[in-house]
Structure 1
Amino acid sequence: MPRFAANVSFMFQEDPFLDRFAAAAGQGFEAVEFTFPYDFAPAAVAAAVRDAGLQVVLFNTPPGDYAAGERGLAALPARRQDFRASMMRAFEYAEALACPRIHVIAGVEPPGADRKALRACFLDNLAWAAEQASGLGLTLMLEPINRRDIPGFYLYDYDEAERIIDEISAPNLRLQFDFYHAQITHGDVIKRFERQLSCSAHIQIANPPDRRGPGRGELDYRFIFGQIDALGYDGWVSCEYRPGDEGTVASLDWIRDYGVRPR
């Protein structure tokens, strides 16, 4: 049976961020992830997690200038030093939160950019970051993100992500397999996950076309969860979906069949 985590940046938005951990625990979750914790001091986030009795399994590197449209820095040659500083900041949070995984966000291609230059920068930054993370016992994750949700996002192709992981050949650089993004970009998600399971270390779920939860879109997650189990995946499956007008608690009707129940 899958082990489910709640993404409290997408879910439990009925509550302020630091209150969402207790809300997630109250609905039966034992683990959480989130996008960006950087508006809050590491100690404040750690206290909220500890008080809720949860573990943090993943968060993202700083996105850069979000208001200006930046969605990560790792593939941007002009932001190389800023990327390295952002990784050090992420490492600080990972230590405070005892979080074992960090998603390294590639970034949006600048207009007219040379993709070869972006790729070279991305590989160089990832190799450096993986070496730094290794000494801290951390795993770095690559997540291809579809270009419908983030136009121009550099890393959108799952095969390219696997090639990059193979080229860098660092044991702590792995694939973050998001069924939502993979379905939009490629389709045929079960066969793709079967092929890429060996390089995957984390799963995220949501349902196209509107990024809703299981039972509210085009993917049959009951079947998918059965296949995940059959393939022997034993990591976390994080719920990174938008609950919709019904609210987070009502959107969790499907998860009760998997033993996640309110406390």
Structure 2
Amino acid sequence: MPKFSANLGFLWPDRPLLDRIDAAARAGFRAVELHWPYDVPAGHVKERCANHGLELLGINTPLGNVENGDFGLGALPGREADFENMFRQSLAWGEIAGASAIHVMAGVVAPDQKREGRRTLVENLRKAAAMAPAMTLLLEGLNQRDKPGYFYSTIGEKADIIADVGAPNVKIMFDIYHVGVSEGDIFRKLETYFPLIGHVQIAAVPSRAEPDEGEVHYAHAFDELDRIGYDGWVGCEYKPRGGTDDGLAWTKTLNVTL
């Protein structure tokens, strides 16, 4: 059975970040992962996690200028300096807080800029990987229903970019929800791309709620992760149907021990 992490970008959204860390520990989680925690001092997060014996996994690079349509900067031609500054911010925060991974957000790219965007992303990742050799850099495709125009949405695209970057610390974030919505054939892709997978996330397909409904039978998914030898964390990045604590009944339904 995999080990599970609480994604505090979505879980316990009704309270401040440090209180969410407390809630995750009370619920029995042994690790947490974050989205954009930069308004909270990294040292405070490190201390709160340490108080509970929680491991801090990943954070996301900043979105950029959201009012102007930014949703990450990694693949945006002409924004290389902005990306580097924001990656350095993520790296500095993550190192102080004790994080082990950074999700490098590629951003929304116009169709006529995709080729140049790919070149930009590869170069940005090469520089970032060299700056942070002890940090895992994760690439996650977002499905086009949830985020139209996001630079990539398929596992194959990310695998090709990782091959071009050529850095051992650049890995795939295999979000079963996004893979399910974007392309399906989840279990075959888990096995095919297993050597490149740095982290796994879960949510119901297609609702993105607790993983006890929808098209993916998660008890089977957890068996598959065991079968292929995945020993990393599985991030619970779902949007609760109601209260987060009540929604954790899915663990009993699927015979999961946090």
Instruction: Flag whether TM exceeds 0.5 (same fold).
Output: yes
Supply the distance in 2 between the matched residues of 1:67 and 1:3 (Cα, whole angstroms). Answer: 37
Structure 2 counterpart of 1:258: 256
**Alignment partner of 2:236 out of 231, 236, 239:** 239
Q: CA offset at residue 2 of structure 1? A: 0.4
- Superposed CA deviations along residues 186-216 of structure 1, whole A, max 9, x for unmatched, are 1110011110111101000011221011112
Q: CA offset at residue 166 of structure 1? A: 1.0
SS of alignment partner, residue 51 of structure 1: helix
CA contact (8 A) 1:141 1:175 kept: yes
SS of alignment partner, residue 4 of structure 1: strand
**Alignment partner of 1:248 out of 237, 244, 251:** 244
Structure 2 counterpart of 1:116: 115
Q: Please report the RMSD computed on the Cα atoms of aligned residues, expressed in angstroms.
A: 1.2
Structure 1 counterpart of 2:219: 222
- Superposed CA deviations along residues 138-160 of structure 1, whole A, max 9, x for unmatched, are 11111111111111000212101
Q: Describe how 1:163-242 pairs up with structure 2 within 5 A.
A: 163-242=160-239
Structure 2 counterpart of 1:23: 23
Q: Which runs of 5+ in 1 are unaligned?
A: none
- Superposed CA deviations along residues 107-164 of structure 1, whole A, max 9, x for unmatched, are 0014x64211111111110111111111xx1111111111111110002121010011
- Superposed CA deviations along residues 40-73 of structure 1, whole A, max 9, x for unmatched, are 2222222222233211111111111124331100
Supply the distance in 2 between the matched residues of 1:167 and 1:252 (Cα, whole angstroms). Answer: 40
Equivalent AA in structure 2 for residue 119 of structure 1: R
SS of alignment partner, residue 78 of structure 2: helix
Structure 2 counterpart of 1:143: 140
CA contact (8 A) 1:5 1:30 kept: yes
Q: CA offset at residue 183 of structure 1? A: 0.6
Count the aligned residue pairs.
256
Supply the distance in 2 between the matched residues of 1:8 and 1:115 (Cα, whole angstroms). Answer: 32
SS of alignment partner, residue 161 of structure 2: helix
**Percentage identity across paired residues of the two chains:** 38
Supply the distance in 2 between the matched residues of 1:206 and 1:180 (Cα, whole angstroms). Answer: 5
Equivalent AA in structure 1 for residue 9 of structure 2: S
Supply the distance in 1 between the matched residues of 2:63 and 2:51 (Cα, whole angstroms). Answer: 28
Q: CA offset at residue 15 of structure 1? A: 2.0
2:123 is the alignment partner of 1:127: no
Q: Describe how 1:54-69 pairs up with structure 2 within 5 A.
A: 54-69=54-69
Moved more, 93-102 or 231-240: 93-102
Q: Describe how 1:46-57 pairs up with structure 2 within 5 A.
A: 46-57=46-57
SS of alignment partner, residue 258 of structure 1: coil
Q: Describe how 1:88-107 pairs up with structure 2 within 5 A.
A: 88-107=88-107
